[in-house]
Amino acid sequence: MPKKRLIAVTLCLFLFSATAHAGTIFVNEKSVQPGQGTSWATAFSSLQQALSIAQKGDQIWVAEGVYRPTDSTDRNASFHLIPGVEVFGGFFGDETDLTQRKHTQHQTVLSGDIGQPGFPDDNVYHVVSGADGAVLDGFTVTGGYSQNTAWTGEKNRTAASVTARPQLGFGAGLLNFQASPIIRNCTFQDNHALLGGAVYSMTASTQRPTARPAQSPRFENCTFWQNSAVGHGGGVVNEMRTAPLFVSCVFDSNIADVSGGGMFNDFGTAPLILNSIFRNNEAKNGGGIANEGGSTPVLYYATFTGNRSSESGPAVFQGEGALNTTVLTKSIVWENECEGADTRFQNSEQSVIRVQDSVIQHGYAGKSVFRANPGLNRTSETMLNVGYKTNGHRFRASKIQYRIKDIERFDVVKNLPAYTEDYTSSVDPILLATVDKHPVVAPQASSKTATVPPVKTIPSTPQDHAMSQPKSRTPATASHQSIEKIKPAAIPEKQSVIELTPSPTTVTSPAQPTTETATQTPPSLHKAAESTEHSVQPKQQSSSSPVTPTIEPQKTALLTPSATGQSVTNQEASPTSKATTSAKQPNIDMLMLTMDTDGNGYITINEATGTIKDTFWRMDRNGDNTLSRTELVKATESTKRLSPAPAPKITPTTPPKTTTAALAPSTHQPSSRPKITSPAVPVISHAVATEAKQGGYTLFAPIGSKDTLLVDMNGTVVKTWHGKDLSTGAVYLLNNGNLLRSVSPGAGEIRTPFTGKGVTGGIIQEVSPRGQIVWEYSYISNKVRQHHDIAPLPNGNVLLLAWELKTESDIEAAGGSVRTHPDGVIWAEHIVEVRKSGPRSGTIVWEWHVWDHLVQNTDQSAPNYANPVRLPQRMDVNYNPTRTPHWLHANSIEYNPQLRQIVLCLCNTSEVWILDHSTTTEEAASNTGGLMHRGGDILFRWGNPQAYGAAGRPELVEQRDARWVLGDAPGKERILIFNNGNRQTQRSDILEIRPEYYFKSTRLNAQVVWSYSKKGGARFFADQASGAQRLPNGHTLISDSPAGRIVEVSSTAQPLWEYRYSVSGSSSHRPIYRASRIPPDHPGLHRLSITTP
């Protein structure tokens, strides 16, 4: 196409958005009365109802909530978009204009989870089905699942077979089969398919399959996060001459078993990708992008970082069979990982990668290619914000045509190769091996959508808002599956006191990228710009962690049960023993027949027995909490650890326990990093010689360090999470094997008034076993800052302990006195609950502020005037014994799921508080509502009666930690407190109290049921940080922060186990923040592939 014609088409594409819409249809899941959809007051409760009556030119406004395509069990159900109809999510439910919508605050979810919650195998095959000219804007698309379907196509695919019909296993989130919708401001998360976990696009016609389609899908400001595919394209698959446009999109933590973790292109596709990031994606080949069949993606201002492949091409992989050409302009390729030699690209002999004006690690052939470190960080991940010239145009919708014009001036986009029409694609054996347990005839997809009858929504039950948020069945899917999917054997970071000796594995280096050769074939660029020439546009327009190089992989010998019950190592076994072991592998069909008690074709954790149950989480490659036949086959082939299978009943032998920690590989530890040399000392006294230590692993973060450590009972560091940011010490191991932690930004990175000695935090990170930051949320500004502690919730959300700035005028309005607040500012405590909404974003879904619950007796004109002793459920704004801005100085927060309550530890007032989390945000700001009917008022406080004007001696002195001790029934819970003391007392203690309060009344008394010092515990003094944890066997794990000491004591306070943290070259121990014991049956340990100690 001539250049002038291309620009004219682009201008038409963007100016067409001014077209007025015919009418607006309203949808709100909270609607209880049958409506007509003509207003918010008469809104439909089902999106399907709105779609069934919508006509070209209409807009559908959808209020926040969760919407499912059916209330039945029909897995073929889908939200079929209507040609020319715009569907907008993200409304609160009272807006009168589209510009009032705030889609980032009001999450609107299209969920495919129509069956049993938590089990994806009964979810819909495609959550959304596209249509020409349709618009989907402001939604989270999740819960599509088709990995349990069978491959129904040919073994060798051709243009004719690709365009014949779609398969059920394609595009679990969005299926664009011969359809070209416009998708904006959408997040595709937790969708799993055979091809195209999140999206599958194929827009060619059946009549002319090899012709370039007149239209192609368009994606703007979209995120593809934690999706997966059994075959290709964990995030997106584009096939058959499709030329989609991706603008300002993020591909993060997607997984494909074969090729294209982020994106897979085949059959001559030509995607145009602008200002987008490929981060932390994984695949066997092409962690970021994989190309086959003469595909020609053009990337402009793109970044590839943290992607990983087990064989080749972590950033870009180009396969055999046809000439593939990838164009990279103004792009960055940095710190990707591969077991081969090249951590950038992999080309077949016929393919080329053209690079110009880009930063490529280790360099690359091309014009103006730089190899200097671009300094990627959380605010600078593309060429737009690392100091490179951008020609003055940002990626706003109104300016994209200038960007496309800029692309055309580059030499590398000229003379792109033509598509070879006789190309055929061989289907990967992994897809041919799939077994269909739910045979359903795939419907013919069409851009002409028939009228959909109204569908009744699933009634919801009143629940705590935190528990009613849309669930993520496989949290951090990409990250926690990454190692098991790609590596046949896990790799320990460090081995000490290990029975087996690892040996290095030779790594074969792939061929170096071939030198590109000029081709004189017809150009085929930017058809995506043409694709929506006739599409209906909306009236309104929407405006990393780099991974350090890994060490050379090593293999850890796995213990394999032999026929005699003795153990042999896989590495040391003779050829004869290897053959014998292989021959004695169990019959997979017999395993399925024996363990699959409900006959659905899948083994759940409850059905699994023996070794399969012990290694369940390692075998569960897709994280769906079930084992398919394919997963059993893969596990058998890769590890050879299953036991012989006697007929007719199979009882796999459990592998012998070992101290070997078969861990997922982590990033290389720099030689300059101090070596940890801390032993764990089991201490047994005569009085407690019969008491056993609580097994498991101990997790902690040293103070002033960027690392988090996991040590076994021998004191061996079996896992280290390295970081680039200083940790606050608040670290938690999640069930998916990821680490949740709070860190501080770099000096000068963010301007905030919350600074000073001991002030840390502001950023929350979820980190995969190999060190990828799969989620990051910043809560730090000139008005607020997260500090000290966080608390993960059962629904996947996170509670943040935070400060908010109150000025002198705020203090005066609340009846505060400058005598007690001499600095004229207060850092007031508040709590926010954050729901993960993207790899670098979150949504606040609940808040509590102490400023809403104040009392004072100095200013009678203030509305909160009262005697504090008569309102102990509120905080006296003028009680500030330290006279510092960090007024209450909370140090710890923990959630009790049984009571739905929060315990806070307040150092400066020497108190512990209990708050009600069963409230809404509105109720939390009042004194009514919630299970306790007291809103956000303090339910219980103990430690210092002087804080509310009562007489009495303080029971606590500057304590730093308070944790729930869960009882066997509601009301039996207790609280364990690390009472630090101060320099006057010179002694620390651990107290266990039973709060005395009822559901309709508040008492401020507590019974001390256990005391470390009164039980005769050795005297010690920890004047900072520290903490205590009650273990399942009744013992207590004590963290003595300044001494870097962790001690497990019995119920009689006798030491049973001790660990001291130190580094080589130092004569003293290093301080830690707080430690926690991880039980051996914790699911996260299985995800880390740690053998039970």
Convert the pLDDT of each residue in 126-137 to its tens digit.
Answer: 999 999 999 999
Q: Collapsing DSSP states into helix, strand and coil, what is residue 454?
A: coil
pLDDT, greater one: 541 or 747: 747
pLDDT at 578: 34
Q: Which residues contact 454 (CB under 8 A, 6 or more apart)?
A: 44, 46, 48, 49, 52
The neighbour count for residue 991, using CB atoms within 10 Å, is 26
- Predicted confidence band of residue 87 (pLDDT cuts 50, 70, 90): very high
Q: Could you tell me how far CA 228 lies from the centroid of its own chain?
A: 13
Cβ atoms within 10 Å of 42's Cβ, excluding its own = 14
Residues 835 and 89: their CA atoms lie apart, in Å, by 17
Q: How far apart are CA 242 and CA 264, in angstroms?
A: 12
Do the beta carbons of residue 824 and residue 237 sit within 8 Å? no
Paired tokens of 547: 């991974």
CATH assignment of 697-1087? 2.120.10.30
Amino acid at the residue 644: P
918 is written with which tokens?
């069963």
pLDDT at 621 exceeding the cut of 70: no
pLDDT recorded at residue 833: 98
Segment 956-969 shows an average pLDDT of: 89
Helix axes 400-407, 3-15, angle to 10 degrees: 160
Give per-residue pLDDT as tens, 491-518.
Answer: 233 333 323 223 333 333 333 333 333 3
Cis before residue 1032, ω within 30 degrees of 0?
no
What is the pLDDT confidence band of residue 563, given thresholds at 50, 70 and 90? very low
CA distance 138 to 108: 7
- Structure tokens given for 363: 């360099």
- Checking DSSP bridges between strand 156-157 and strand 680-682, what pairing results, if any? unpaired
Tell whether the model's pLDDT for residue 379 goes beyond 80.
Answer: no
Residue 1093 has pLDDT above 90, yes or no: no
Q: What integer pLDDT is reported at residue 608 of this predicted model? A: 79
Which residue is it, tokens 């790899």? 839
Q: If we measure between CA atoms, which residue out of 362, 366, 379, 353 comes closest to residue 295? A: 353
pLDDT value of residue 605: 66
Residue 171 near residue 192, CB atoms below 8 Å: no
Q: How far apart are CA 41 and CA 1041, in angstroms?
A: 57
Q: Contact, 311 vs 283, CB < 8 A?
A: no
Q: Per-domain residue ranges for the chain?
A: 21-109, 214-374, 697-1087
> Which tokens in the block code for residue 289?
């992008």
> Are 774 and 766 spatial neighbours (Cβ–Cβ below 8 Å)?
yes
- Three-state SS across 14-54? HHHHHCCCCCEEEECCCCCCCCCCCCCCCCECCHHHHHHHC
Q: Are 943 and 959 in contact (CB under 8 A)?
A: yes
Cβ–Cβ under 8 Å, residues 472 and 691: no
Range from 248-257, 554-563, 899-908, 1044-1053 carrying the lowest mean pLDDT: 554-563
Neighbouring residues of 273: CB distance < 8 A, sequence distance ≥ 6: 246, 249, 297, 298, 299, 300, 302
Phi, psi of 400, rounded to the nearest 5 degrees: -65, -30
Smallest CA-to-CA distance from 845 within 476, 462, 464 is with: 464
Q: Tell me the per-residue pLDDT of 279-332, one tens digit each, with 9 for 90 and over.
A: 999 999 999 999 999 999 999 999 999 999 999 999 999 987 678 999 999 999
Q: Is the pLDDT of residue 908 over 60?
A: yes
Q: What is the mean pLDDT of the chain?
A: 79
| pLDDT tier, 191 (very low <50, low <70, confident <90, very high otherwise) | very high
Closest CA to 766 of 730, 795, 794: 730
Please compute Rg for the chain using Cα positions: 30
Contact 904, 975 (CB under 8 A): no
- What's the DSSP call for residue 509? P
pLDDT at 466 over 50: no
d(CA 432, CA 619): 20
- Two tokens at 62? 């959808």
- The yes-or-no verdict on residue 473 having pLDDT over 50 is no
The SS3 call for residue 431 is: helix
For residue 563, give both structure tokens. 């026929």
1020-1033: average pLDDT: 95
Q: What is the spatial distance between Cα 66 and Cα 845, in angstroms, rounded to a whole number? A: 14
pLDDT tens by residue, 640-679: 333 333 333 333 333 333 222 323 333 333 334 445 545 5
The pLDDT of residue 394 is 53
Mean per-residue pLDDT for 1032-1053?
Answer: 95
Q: What is the pLDDT of residue 377?
A: 77
| Six token digits for residue 330 | 């103004």
40/61 Cα distance (integer angstroms): 9
pLDDT, tens digit, 9 for 90 and up, residues 995-1013: 876 433 444 678 899 999 9
pLDDT at 246 over 60: yes
Give the pLDDT mean for 443-457: 36
Asked if 878 contacts 858 with a C-beta cutoff of 8 angstroms, the reply is yes
With H, G, I as helix, E, B as strand and everything else as coil, classify residue 130. coil
Residues above pLDDT 90, as percent of the chain: 55
Q: What is the pLDDT of residue 1077?
A: 97
